């Protein structure tokens, strides 16, 4: 399967690190084929390699598979767990990832501009690896209060205190066109105050099974469930 590259905008030229990867790492030649993606669309293209850049000739647009709109709201974990979350949430299909300070977060929100650039690079590489049609949007929020939950049709809270309400029971059968958010606590879980505040906002508490999952992989359980439901 052709290698995939995400461009910031429509262009017939690839430069910078992606061009270096095509020429030096992959050792591609003229008329080799790649897939380029921009503006949530992907295209099969042939390349022409010159000394500096890689020029593209679009062959055809690719059909985009159906996907769900799922935001992972992740309680800020210790470094480098936020990188693990970004990589695998991207691979498993999250459309957005929000890192937020929570009561029991050990890590603090600082140097977020540099962290965001690093996470965006990780997400781009993971999206290329997974052959996605887009790269998830990533952002940092100071607290749960800074998130507008009204923008979502369904908000779930992964709650270690809940051992009875499964995702299957909480999620409607028809998921198409729904904007879904899933809240996952940091290493220490969510506080009782956060739990009560969220439940008062019609957030639905759900169980991720009998075992307590590490915060950096809890999203995989959730995203795998939704992937199977959407199959």
pLDDT digits (tens, 9 = 90+) for 65-109: 888 999 999 999 999 999 999 999 999 999 999 999 999 999 989
Dist CA 98 CA 141 (whole Å)? 7
Model pTM?
0.92
User: How many angstroms from the chain centroid is the CA of residue 87?
Assistant: 7
Whether residue 146 has pLDDT greater than 90 = yes
pLDDT score at 65: 86
Specify whether the CB–CB gap between 32 and 46 falls below 8 A. yes
Whether residue 205 has pLDDT greater than 80 = yes
| Burial status of residue 82 (CB atoms within 10 A of its CB: 0-12, 13-18, 19 or more) | buried
Tokens of 39: 């503006």
pLDDT range class, residue 231, cuts 50, 70, 90: confident
Q: Do residue 91 and residue 193 come from a single domain?
A: yes
CATH classification at residue 45: 2.40.240.20
pLDDT score at 144: 96
At residue 162, φ and ψ (nearest 5 deg) are: -95, 115
pLDDT score at 42: 95
pLDDT digits (tens, 9 = 90+) for 31-42: 999 999 998 899
* Total domains, the chain: 2
Residues 6+ apart with CB under 8 A from 93: 67, 68, 70, 132, 223, 226, 227
Helix/strand/coil for 173:
coil
Q: Do residue 137 and residue 48 come from a single domain?
A: no
β-pairing verdict for 13-14 and 54-61: antiparallel
* DSSP collapsed to 3 states, 95-111: CEEEEECCCCCCCCCCC
Q: Do residue 192 and residue 96 come from a single domain?
A: yes
Specify whether the CB–CB gap between 140 and 116 falls below 8 A. yes
Q: Domain residues for 98?
A: 69-229
């Amino acid at each position: 399967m052709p290698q995939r590259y995400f461009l910031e905008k429509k262009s017939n030229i690839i430069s910078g690190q992606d061009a270096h990867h095509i020429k030096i790492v992959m050792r591609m030649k003229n008329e080799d084929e790649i897939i380029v993606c921009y503006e949530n669309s992907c295209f099969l293209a042939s390349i022409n390699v010159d000394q500096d850049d890689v020029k593209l000739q679009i062959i055809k647009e690719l059909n985009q598979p159906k996907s769900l709109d799922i935001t992972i709201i992740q309680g800020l974990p210790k470094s480098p767990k936020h990188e693990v979350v970004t990589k695998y949430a991207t691979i498993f299909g999250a459309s957005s990832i929000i890192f937020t300070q929570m009561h029991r977060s050990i890590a603090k929100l600082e140097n977020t501009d540099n962290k965001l650039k690093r996470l965006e690079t990780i997400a781009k590489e993971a999206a290329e690896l997974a052959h996605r049609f887009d790269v998830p949007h990533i952002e940092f929020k100071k607290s749960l209060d800074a998130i507008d939950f009204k923008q979502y049709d369904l908000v779930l809270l992964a709650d270690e205190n809940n051992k009875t309400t499964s995702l299957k029971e909480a999620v409607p059968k028809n998921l198409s066109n729904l904007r879904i958010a899933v809240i996952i606590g940091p290493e220490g879980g969510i506080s009782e105050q956060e739990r009560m505040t969220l439940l008062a906002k019609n957030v639905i508490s759900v169980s991720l099974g009998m075992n307590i999952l590490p915060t950096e992989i809890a999203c995989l359980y959730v995203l795998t469930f939704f992937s199977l439901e959407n199959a």
